[in-house]
Amino acid sequence: MDVRIGIIQTPKELDVELGESVDRDQIIADVERALAEPEGVLWLTDRRGRRVAVPTARIAYVEVGAQSEERRVGFGAP
């Protein structure tokens, strides 16, 4: 599952590819919990085990991808 985070005043997005066993609803709950704290930090662990921290005061938006086994590549991909 992919999580894309937009950072305030930065044109690039932070893309984190989470493991396949991660629960989508749990990730959404973790994001909501972190955003409720003005001085909080959102911690995510990617599929390689690396930890990523983003200060919640700098988060513009968070996109949580669908859990899908199928990945399309090329011009026909949605």
Domain map (residue ranges) of the chain: 2-64
Which residue from 69, 64, 62, 54 is spatially nearest to 2, judged by alpha carbons? Answer: 64
Give the least confident one: 27-31, 58-62, 64-68: 64-68
Q: What is the pLDDT of residue 73?
A: 67
pLDDT tier at 13, thresholds 50, 70, 90:
very high
- 68 pLDDT above the threshold of 90: no
Identify the sign of the CA torsion 4, 7, 13, 17: negative
pTM for this prediction: 0.77
Which whole number is the average pLDDT over 36-64? 92
For the segment 22-45, the average pLDDT, to the nearest whole number, is 92
Rounded to 10 degrees, the C-alpha dihedral 20/54/52/19 comes to 0
